[in-house]
Amino acid sequence: MEKLQVLSLYANFRKDLDDIEQELECSVDSASPIIRQASLHLLRAGGKRIRPIFVLLASEFGEFSLERVKKVAVALELVHMASLVHDDVIDNSDMRRGHQTVKAKWNNRIAMYTGDYMFSKALMSIADIENQAVHQLLAKTMLEICEGEIIQIEQQRVVEQTLRDYLRRIKRKTALLLSSSCELGALVAGADEESVKKLSRFGYYAGMSFQIMDDILDFTSTDKKLGKPAGSDLLNGHLTLPALYLKEEPEFLDYMHQAFNGELTEQTRHNMLKYVRTSDAIEQATLVSDMYLDKARRELSTLPEGKAKDAFMQIANFIGRRNY
Protein backbone atom coordinates (compact mmCIF):
# COMPACT_ATOMS: atom_id res chain seq x y z
CA MET A 1 0.00 0.00 0.00
CA GLU A 2 2.75 2.48 0.93
CA LYS A 3 4.59 1.74 -2.31
CA LEU A 4 1.41 2.38 -4.30
CA GLN A 5 0.85 5.67 -2.46
CA VAL A 6 4.36 6.85 -3.26
CA LEU A 7 4.00 5.83 -6.91
CA SER A 8 0.76 7.81 -6.97
CA LEU A 9 2.59 10.77 -5.43
CA TYR A 10 5.18 10.61 -8.21
CA ALA A 11 2.35 10.49 -10.76
CA ASN A 12 0.96 13.72 -9.32
CA PHE A 13 4.28 15.42 -10.07
CA ARG A 14 4.95 13.58 -13.34
CA LYS A 15 4.99 16.66 -15.55
CA ASP A 16 7.28 18.64 -13.22
CA LEU A 17 9.58 15.62 -12.79
CA ASP A 18 9.69 15.11 -16.57
CA ASP A 19 10.75 18.76 -16.94
CA ILE A 20 13.44 18.26 -14.30
CA GLU A 21 14.61 15.07 -16.02
CA GLN A 22 14.95 16.88 -19.35
CA GLU A 23 16.83 19.70 -17.64
CA LEU A 24 19.16 17.15 -16.02
CA GLU A 25 20.03 15.65 -19.39
CA CYS A 26 20.59 19.10 -20.91
CA SER A 27 22.77 20.13 -17.96
CA VAL A 28 25.33 17.36 -18.58
CA ASP A 29 25.83 18.23 -22.24
CA SER A 30 29.55 18.53 -22.82
CA ALA A 31 32.02 19.15 -25.62
CA SER A 32 33.65 15.91 -24.48
CA PRO A 33 31.73 12.90 -25.87
CA ILE A 34 33.06 10.62 -23.11
CA ILE A 35 32.00 12.93 -20.28
CA ARG A 36 28.58 13.38 -21.89
CA GLN A 37 28.11 9.62 -22.40
CA ALA A 38 29.29 8.78 -18.89
CA SER A 39 27.03 11.41 -17.32
CA LEU A 40 23.98 10.27 -19.30
CA HIS A 41 24.76 6.65 -18.46
CA LEU A 42 24.64 7.53 -14.77
CA LEU A 43 21.44 9.62 -15.07
CA ARG A 44 19.60 6.98 -17.10
CA ALA A 45 20.52 4.14 -14.71
CA GLY A 46 17.48 5.19 -12.67
CA GLY A 47 16.97 6.24 -9.08
CA LYS A 48 14.09 7.33 -6.90
CA ARG A 49 14.62 11.07 -7.62
CA ILE A 50 13.67 11.65 -4.00
CA ARG A 51 15.72 14.85 -3.81
CA PRO A 52 13.83 16.60 -6.64
CA ILE A 53 10.56 15.44 -5.04
CA PHE A 54 11.64 16.97 -1.71
CA VAL A 55 12.51 20.23 -3.48
CA LEU A 56 9.14 20.30 -5.25
CA LEU A 57 7.15 19.58 -2.09
CA ALA A 58 9.08 22.03 0.11
CA SER A 59 8.54 24.79 -2.45
CA GLU A 60 4.77 24.36 -1.99
CA PHE A 61 5.15 26.05 1.43
CA GLY A 62 5.99 29.30 -0.38
CA GLU A 63 5.20 30.67 -3.84
CA PHE A 64 5.85 27.85 -6.30
CA SER A 65 7.78 28.69 -9.48
CA LEU A 66 8.86 25.71 -11.58
CA GLU A 67 11.67 27.70 -13.23
CA ARG A 68 13.33 28.48 -9.88
CA VAL A 69 12.54 25.11 -8.35
CA LYS A 70 13.84 23.25 -11.40
CA LYS A 71 17.27 24.88 -11.11
CA VAL A 72 17.61 23.83 -7.46
CA ALA A 73 16.27 20.31 -8.05
CA VAL A 74 18.74 19.76 -10.90
CA ALA A 75 21.64 21.07 -8.80
CA LEU A 76 20.88 18.75 -5.89
CA GLU A 77 20.37 15.67 -8.06
CA LEU A 78 23.68 16.38 -9.82
CA VAL A 79 25.45 16.64 -6.46
CA HIS A 80 23.88 13.32 -5.47
CA MET A 81 24.92 11.67 -8.75
CA ALA A 82 28.46 13.04 -8.41
CA SER A 83 28.78 11.54 -4.94
CA LEU A 84 27.54 8.15 -6.24
CA VAL A 85 30.07 7.98 -9.06
CA HIS A 86 32.85 8.86 -6.59
CA ASP A 87 31.56 6.24 -4.14
CA ASP A 88 31.76 3.56 -6.84
CA VAL A 89 35.43 4.36 -7.35
CA ILE A 90 36.11 4.26 -3.59
CA ASP A 91 34.28 0.92 -3.28
CA ASN A 92 35.56 -0.49 -6.59
CA SER A 93 31.91 -1.29 -7.45
CA ASP A 94 31.02 -2.68 -10.86
CA MET A 95 27.23 -2.61 -10.47
CA ARG A 96 24.69 -0.07 -9.25
CA ARG A 97 20.91 -0.55 -9.53
CA GLY A 98 21.52 -3.50 -11.84
CA HIS A 99 23.62 -1.45 -14.27
CA GLN A 100 27.35 -1.15 -14.86
CA THR A 101 28.93 1.71 -12.95
CA VAL A 102 30.78 4.46 -14.81
CA LYS A 103 34.12 3.18 -13.47
CA ALA A 104 33.33 -0.33 -14.76
CA LYS A 105 32.09 0.82 -18.18
CA TRP A 106 34.97 3.27 -18.64
CA ASN A 107 37.61 3.54 -15.90
CA ASN A 108 38.40 5.21 -12.57
CA ARG A 109 39.81 8.34 -14.14
CA ILE A 110 36.73 8.94 -16.31
CA ALA A 111 34.49 8.25 -13.30
CA MET A 112 36.30 10.81 -11.12
CA TYR A 113 36.22 13.47 -13.84
CA THR A 114 32.52 12.74 -14.46
CA GLY A 115 31.79 13.31 -10.77
CA ASP A 116 33.81 16.53 -10.75
CA TYR A 117 32.01 17.68 -13.90
CA MET A 118 28.62 17.08 -12.27
CA PHE A 119 29.65 19.04 -9.16
CA SER A 120 30.62 21.95 -11.42
CA LYS A 121 27.37 21.74 -13.37
CA ALA A 122 25.41 21.78 -10.09
CA LEU A 123 26.92 25.17 -9.26
CA MET A 124 26.18 26.47 -12.75
CA SER A 125 22.56 25.33 -12.48
CA ILE A 126 21.80 27.91 -9.78
CA ALA A 127 24.15 30.63 -11.07
CA ASP A 128 21.36 33.11 -11.89
CA ILE A 129 19.42 32.69 -8.64
CA GLU A 130 19.93 35.96 -6.77
CA ASN A 131 19.30 34.68 -3.24
CA GLN A 132 22.77 34.43 -1.66
CA ALA A 133 21.49 32.05 1.01
CA VAL A 134 20.80 29.48 -1.73
CA HIS A 135 24.40 29.65 -3.01
CA GLN A 136 25.87 29.53 0.48
CA LEU A 137 23.81 26.50 1.49
CA LEU A 138 24.58 24.53 -1.67
CA ALA A 139 28.31 25.30 -1.33
CA LYS A 140 28.28 24.23 2.33
CA THR A 141 26.38 21.05 1.44
CA MET A 142 28.90 20.13 -1.25
CA LEU A 143 31.79 20.82 1.12
CA GLU A 144 30.38 18.52 3.82
CA ILE A 145 29.62 15.78 1.29
CA CYS A 146 33.25 15.88 0.12
CA GLU A 147 34.42 15.74 3.74
CA GLY A 148 32.08 12.77 4.21
CA GLU A 149 33.71 10.95 1.29
CA ILE A 150 37.12 11.40 2.94
CA ILE A 151 35.75 10.18 6.29
CA GLN A 152 34.30 7.13 4.52
CA ILE A 153 37.71 6.34 3.04
CA GLU A 154 39.40 6.79 6.44
CA GLN A 155 36.92 4.45 8.13
CA GLN A 156 36.89 1.81 5.41
CA ARG A 157 37.75 -1.63 6.87
CA VAL A 158 38.24 -0.13 10.35
CA VAL A 159 36.69 -2.41 12.97
CA GLU A 160 36.98 0.00 15.89
CA GLN A 161 34.08 2.32 15.10
CA THR A 162 31.34 3.73 17.29
CA LEU A 163 27.69 4.57 16.79
CA ARG A 164 28.71 8.22 16.70
CA ASP A 165 31.17 7.51 13.84
CA TYR A 166 28.41 5.80 11.88
CA LEU A 167 25.80 8.53 12.44
CA ARG A 168 28.28 11.23 11.49
CA ARG A 169 29.06 9.36 8.28
CA ILE A 170 25.46 8.84 7.15
CA LYS A 171 24.62 12.45 7.97
CA ARG A 172 27.06 13.53 5.25
CA LYS A 173 26.25 10.58 2.97
CA THR A 174 22.46 11.04 2.83
CA ALA A 175 20.73 13.15 5.47
CA LEU A 176 22.49 16.40 4.65
CA LEU A 177 21.41 16.36 1.01
CA LEU A 178 17.78 15.61 1.86
CA SER A 179 17.81 18.36 4.48
CA SER A 180 19.25 20.78 1.92
CA SER A 181 16.66 19.67 -0.66
CA CYS A 182 13.88 20.72 1.69
CA GLU A 183 15.60 23.90 2.82
CA LEU A 184 16.55 25.07 -0.68
CA GLY A 185 13.12 24.27 -2.08
CA ALA A 186 11.53 26.39 0.64
CA LEU A 187 14.10 29.18 0.27
CA VAL A 188 13.64 29.69 -3.49
CA ALA A 189 9.87 29.74 -2.95
CA GLY A 190 10.19 32.47 -0.31
CA ALA A 191 8.67 30.39 2.51
CA ASP A 192 8.69 31.91 5.99
CA GLU A 193 11.79 31.40 8.14
CA GLU A 194 10.12 29.04 10.63
CA SER A 195 8.83 26.76 7.87
CA VAL A 196 12.27 26.69 6.24
CA LYS A 197 13.85 25.54 9.52
CA LYS A 198 11.20 22.88 10.16
CA LEU A 199 11.47 21.53 6.62
CA SER A 200 15.25 21.39 6.92
CA ARG A 201 14.98 19.37 10.15
CA PHE A 202 12.34 17.11 8.59
CA GLY A 203 14.68 16.37 5.67
CA TYR A 204 17.56 15.62 8.02
CA TYR A 205 15.61 13.20 10.21
CA ALA A 206 13.94 11.53 7.21
CA GLY A 207 17.37 11.21 5.57
CA MET A 208 18.89 9.53 8.61
CA SER A 209 16.02 7.06 8.72
CA PHE A 210 16.24 6.49 4.96
CA GLN A 211 19.95 5.64 5.08
CA ILE A 212 19.59 3.33 8.07
CA MET A 213 16.83 1.47 6.20
CA ASP A 214 19.15 1.29 3.17
CA ASP A 215 21.82 -0.28 5.36
CA ILE A 216 19.32 -2.76 6.80
CA LEU A 217 18.07 -3.71 3.32
CA ASP A 218 21.66 -4.35 2.24
CA PHE A 219 21.52 -7.37 4.57
CA THR A 220 17.84 -8.36 4.35
CA SER A 221 16.98 -7.82 0.67
CA THR A 222 17.90 -9.97 -2.33
CA ASP A 223 20.67 -9.54 -4.90
CA LYS A 224 18.01 -9.02 -7.57
CA LYS A 225 16.13 -6.28 -5.72
CA LEU A 226 19.34 -4.49 -4.74
CA GLY A 227 20.90 -4.72 -8.19
CA LYS A 228 24.14 -5.82 -6.49
CA PRO A 229 25.17 -8.59 -4.06
CA ALA A 230 23.43 -8.41 -0.68
CA GLY A 231 25.98 -7.59 1.98
CA SER A 232 27.91 -5.30 -0.40
CA ASP A 233 28.46 -2.69 2.31
CA LEU A 234 30.47 -5.16 4.37
CA LEU A 235 32.23 -6.51 1.28
CA ASN A 236 33.28 -2.95 0.48
CA GLY A 237 34.63 -2.46 4.00
CA HIS A 238 31.80 -0.32 5.40
CA LEU A 239 30.58 -0.97 8.92
CA THR A 240 26.86 -0.12 8.93
CA LEU A 241 24.46 -0.12 11.88
CA PRO A 242 23.44 -3.84 11.84
CA ALA A 243 27.13 -4.78 11.64
CA LEU A 244 28.00 -2.40 14.47
CA TYR A 245 25.56 -4.23 16.74
CA LEU A 246 27.17 -7.58 15.88
CA LYS A 247 30.87 -6.78 15.70
CA GLU A 248 31.59 -8.04 19.21
CA GLU A 249 30.17 -11.50 18.40
CA PRO A 250 33.00 -13.93 17.46
CA GLU A 251 31.14 -15.62 14.59
CA PHE A 252 30.20 -12.34 12.92
CA LEU A 253 33.65 -10.89 13.60
CA ASP A 254 35.10 -13.78 11.61
CA TYR A 255 32.72 -13.04 8.71
CA MET A 256 33.65 -9.37 8.89
CA HIS A 257 37.40 -10.03 8.75
CA GLN A 258 36.91 -12.35 5.78
CA ALA A 259 34.81 -9.68 4.02
CA PHE A 260 37.34 -6.94 4.73
CA ASN A 261 40.21 -9.13 3.48
CA GLY A 262 38.37 -10.18 0.30
CA GLU A 263 38.22 -13.80 1.45
CA LEU A 264 34.43 -14.24 1.73
CA THR A 265 33.28 -17.01 -0.62
CA GLU A 266 29.80 -17.00 -2.14
CA GLN A 267 28.63 -19.71 0.23
CA THR A 268 30.10 -17.92 3.25
CA ARG A 269 28.39 -14.70 2.12
CA HIS A 270 25.03 -16.49 2.23
CA ASN A 271 25.88 -17.93 5.66
CA MET A 272 26.79 -14.43 6.87
CA LEU A 273 23.51 -12.98 5.55
CA LYS A 274 21.53 -15.72 7.29
CA TYR A 275 23.39 -15.01 10.54
CA VAL A 276 22.58 -11.28 10.38
CA ARG A 277 18.95 -11.82 9.35
CA THR A 278 18.26 -14.11 12.30
CA SER A 279 20.03 -11.87 14.83
CA ASP A 280 18.60 -9.03 16.94
CA ALA A 281 20.68 -6.50 15.00
CA ILE A 282 18.01 -5.90 12.35
CA GLU A 283 15.37 -5.10 14.97
CA GLN A 284 17.78 -2.87 16.90
CA ALA A 285 18.72 -0.93 13.76
CA THR A 286 15.05 -0.61 12.77
CA LEU A 287 14.29 0.95 16.16
CA VAL A 288 16.92 3.64 15.52
CA SER A 289 15.45 4.29 12.07
CA ASP A 290 11.97 4.56 13.62
CA MET A 291 13.27 7.02 16.22
CA TYR A 292 14.51 9.37 13.48
CA LEU A 293 11.28 8.91 11.54
CA ASP A 294 9.21 9.86 14.60
CA LYS A 295 11.27 13.06 14.87
CA ALA A 296 10.63 13.74 11.17
CA ARG A 297 6.87 13.31 11.65
CA ARG A 298 6.92 15.66 14.65
CA GLU A 299 8.51 18.39 12.52
CA LEU A 300 5.83 17.85 9.88
CA SER A 301 3.00 18.01 12.40
CA THR A 302 3.66 21.69 13.13
CA LEU A 303 3.71 22.78 9.46
CA PRO A 304 0.67 24.30 7.70
CA GLU A 305 -1.91 21.82 6.43
CA GLY A 306 -2.00 21.08 2.73
CA LYS A 307 -1.23 18.58 -0.02
CA ALA A 308 2.54 19.02 0.34
CA LYS A 309 2.41 18.16 4.05
CA ASP A 310 0.24 15.10 3.30
CA ALA A 311 2.68 14.00 0.59
CA PHE A 312 5.67 14.36 2.92
CA MET A 313 3.82 12.24 5.48
CA GLN A 314 3.25 9.55 2.82
CA ILE A 315 6.97 9.55 2.07
CA ALA A 316 7.83 9.29 5.77
CA ASN A 317 5.49 6.30 6.13
CA PHE A 318 7.00 4.70 3.03
CA ILE A 319 10.55 5.12 4.34
CA GLY A 320 9.65 3.22 7.50
CA ARG A 321 8.14 0.29 5.59
CA ARG A 322 9.99 0.13 2.32
CA ASN A 323 11.57 -3.07 1.05
CA TYR A 324 13.52 -1.70 -1.92
Question: What pLDDT does 245 receive?
Answer: 97
When divided into structural domains, the chain yields a total of 1
Question: What pLDDT does 324 receive?
Answer: 64
Q: What is the spatial distance between Cα 5 and Cα 315, in angstroms, rounded to a whole number?
A: 9
Longest dimension (CA), the chain: 57
pLDDT digits (tens, 9 = 90+) for 98-120: 789 999 999 999 999 999 999 99
Domain that holds residue 306: 2-316
Question: What pLDDT does 96 receive?
Answer: 83
pLDDT digits (tens, 9 = 90+) for 244-258: 999 999 999 999 999
* 304 part of a folded domain: yes
Q: What is the spatial distance between Cα 210 and Cα 64, in angstroms, rounded to a whole number?
A: 26
* 324 part of a folded domain: no
* 216 part of a folded domain: yes
* 86 part of a folded domain: yes
* 33 part of a folded domain: yes
Q: What is the spatial distance between Cα 314 and Cα 11, in angstroms, rounded to a whole number?
A: 14
* 323 part of a folded domain: no
* 70 part of a folded domain: yes
* 322 part of a folded domain: no
CATH of the domain at 243: 1.10.600.10
Q: What is the spatial distance between Cα 51 and Cα 198, in angstroms, rounded to a whole number?
A: 17
Q: What's the pTM value of the predicted model, to 2 decimals?
A: 0.93
